[in-house]
Amino acid sequence: MCGIFGYVGPRKDAVEMAVEGLKSLEYRGYDSWGVAWKESQFLNVHKETGKISGIDGKTLAGECSLVIGHTRWATHGGVTVANAHPHLNADRTIAVVHNGIIENYQELRDELKAKGHVFLSQTDSEIIPHLIDEELKTTGDFAHAVRRTCLRFQGRYAIVAVHTKSESIVAARTGSPLIIGKEKGGGYFIASDTPAFLKHTRTVQYLDDGEMAVTDGRSILISDIATGEERLKREIEIRWTADEAQKGDFAHFMIKEIMDQKESVARAVNQSDEEILTLADAIRNAKGTFLSGCGTAGMACRAGEYFLSIVAHKHVNFAPASEFKLFHGFLQPESLLIVVSQSGETADVLEAMQVAKSAGAKVLSIVNVQGSSIDRASDYTLRINAGPERAVASTKALTGQLAVLLLIAYALDGGVAQGKKVLLETAAQINDMLNPRYVVFLKEIAERIKDSKDLYIIGKGWNYPMAMESAIKIQEVSNIHAEGFAAGELKHGPIGLVEEGTPCIVLAGSDEVLPDIISNAVQLKARGGFIIGVSPVNNEAFDVWIKVPDAGTAQPIVNIIPVQVLAYELALARGKDPDMPRNLAKSVTVK
């Protein structure tokens, strides 16, 4: 989704920093970009469609100390230069970047049109500089004009605005993230995510919903948008470093992050026993526990249902976060909602939390990003410690989420130590498995199936959500039509889709359901399916066997990893950039 960058301070290379900062936000997904900077008393603007990767900020502008920038993921209006941000008012004295959706924009646009304003884009965002312009007619103060403008919005937004007559940047948020970075020698950054400025500072302040910030680079004033009251905010040191957020010698973030799993699963297990036991108690005592998340994190939740049921004999309900509000009737003040999210910013998840909180229920979150909106809005949080995940296709965050959910299940059954032992053994097995020969083997399989029109994946028990997750991974980066099914459901419809040579991935463990899933594999093979078995043991039903460790209760964690590599290799074999999947964004901050 859209990325925002802003800087004001003593540095003279503000535009160059903005371009580099926006490049660090590329992983969020975007289709156009732009920057506006102040030089003398003028605002200069540069906007383009397409990627920012090849741009050198130095060639855009000379010395300057105040800049705002944006990467846009189209919502209102197509991918055009006119629709790219920053947007300006008529006399080009105000520039604004915006993330989110102004729901009442049509009404505000009509009102502005009636006053003679002319719009150059189809976006909801363009109304913002025009509204600020109108407010400036009655108040001379830029920050005040921005405040009054924000009060007119319905919907979720994060904005950053500048004005030729002001030395300050003004930022405001409701529903979409904005983080302030403070540099030691002076100067402030404002961004939608910390990688944008991690190279320069790790000291941050988080803006909360309904808050705005005004900074001239020397000091910052944070206040409540509605009342104007000052808000004092803690400065927090974030743990991630700029290096962790780079891809180093790897060709893509996706493969780097897949390989990170050699260590990240062990880091996810590194939780305090006391905290895990407290959370297990919260689940034990709750009257109704719900699990919710989106996309890959939703698949972690579905596997969590099996972990809690099989390991801890505990019944929980899953609903995708976008559906969760429809189940509000089952929530009570004693209920517990467990949300899972890598970014901690997904709009649907935030909405689900709101629904639970309105019913008086408590929210436990399992997140990766420290200080994210979900992290801060939860009653309890467990961090998966995966380190920055930049590729749109989530890999190491998923295995971290699975590890934490499995650990919670063990804790509920009184065995935190046992859970940690199982998971640390699994982490060591992953380290052995992800060797160069293994990757070459998966690449060969990808070459063999790369021209397939369809691909099906089956799993049973906790491997069923991993079958659906495998489909997500393959769809996302290779754009092959892929679907994951519960193995036993094949005969009720999906088997009709299998033709001679259709690749079918079978996810198995060495557990009690192995005979069932092998029987389903045989049924697929009998219809011409090309069977790729992912399993600790070989079977004559498999045309190709991808060997995985026997990981017991942690089997879904090891089974999904070769499929992640296969999806990556399929993307490359089909000439796709796995880090820039078509139409997708890393952090989905709109509903």
Q: Which residues lie near ligand G6P (CB under 6 A)?
A: 294-297, 341-343, 346, 349, 392, 394, 584, 586-588
Q: Cβ-count burial of 380 within 10 angstroms (0-12 exposed, 13-18 middle, 19+ buried)?
A: middle
368 within 8 A of 397, measured Cβ to Cβ: yes
**Nearest-angstrom CA–CA distance, 134 and 137:** 5
**By the 8 A CB rule, do 287 and 333 touch?**
no
**Nearest one of 435, 442, 393, 394 to 576, comparing CA atoms:** 393
Q: In angstroms, rounded to a whole number, what is the distance separating the alpha carbons of residues 357 and 23?
A: 36
Minimum separation from the CB atom of position 374 to ligand G6P (A): 8
Catalytic hit among 115, 576, 586, 591 = 586
Q: Please identify, using beta-carbon distances, which residue of 15 and 294 lies nearer to ligand G6P.
A: 294
DSSP designation for 365: E
The token pair at 423 is: 């998971």
Q: What are the residues facing 224 on neighbouring strands? A: 211
Q: Which residue's structure tokens are 């950054």?
A: 189
- Of 192 and 343, which CB lies nearer to ligand G6P in the complex structure? 343
User: Is the CA virtual torsion 77, 82, 85, 88 positive or negative?
Assistant: negative
Q: What are phi and psi of 382, to 5 degrees?
A: -120, 130
- Cβ 588 to ligand G6P shortest distance, Å: 5
138 class by beta-carbon count within 10 Å (0-12 exposed, 13-18 middle, 19+ buried): exposed
DSSP secondary structure string for all residues of 374-423: HHHH-SEEEE-------SSS--HHHHHHHHHHHHHHHHHTT-HHHHHHHH
Between 312 and 353, whose beta carbon lies closer to ligand G6P? 353
How far apart, in whole angstroms, are the C-alpha atoms of residue 481 and residue 270?
A: 37
Question: Of 127 and 254, which has the nearer Cβ to ligand G6P?
Answer: 254
Rounded least distance, CB 343 to ligand G6P, Å: 3
| Token output for 19 | 């371009």
Closer to ligand G6P by CB, 294 or 541: give it: 294
Residue count of the chain: 591
Judge whether 2 counts as a catalytic residue. Answer: yes
Is 421 marked active-site?
Answer: no
CB of 472 vs ligand G6P, minimal distance in Å: 8
Q: Which two tokens stand for residue 425?
A: 């053994």
Query: CA-to-CA distance for 218 and 13, rounded, in angstroms?
Result: 17
Closer to ligand G6P by Cβ: residue 341 or 475: 341
Q: Which is nearer to ligand G6P, 265 or 297 (CB)?
A: 297
Tell me 61's DSSP state: -
Chain centre to alpha carbon of residue 535: 29
- Selecting among 2, 64, 150, 301, the annotated active-site residue is 2
Which of 96, 339 has the CB closer to ligand G6P? 339
CB of 107 closer than 8 Å to CB of 178: no
Closest to ligand G6P by CB, 145 vs 477, is 477
Block residue for tokens 């749109």: 392
Smallest separation (angstroms) from ligand G6P to the CB of 293? 6
Residues 6+ apart with CB under 8 A from 525: 531, 541, 543
Nearest 5°: the CA angle 558, 564, 566 is: 115
Beta pairing class for 66-72 and 32-39? antiparallel
The residue written with tokens 């301070």 in the block is 9
- Please identify every residue annotated as catalytic: 2, 586
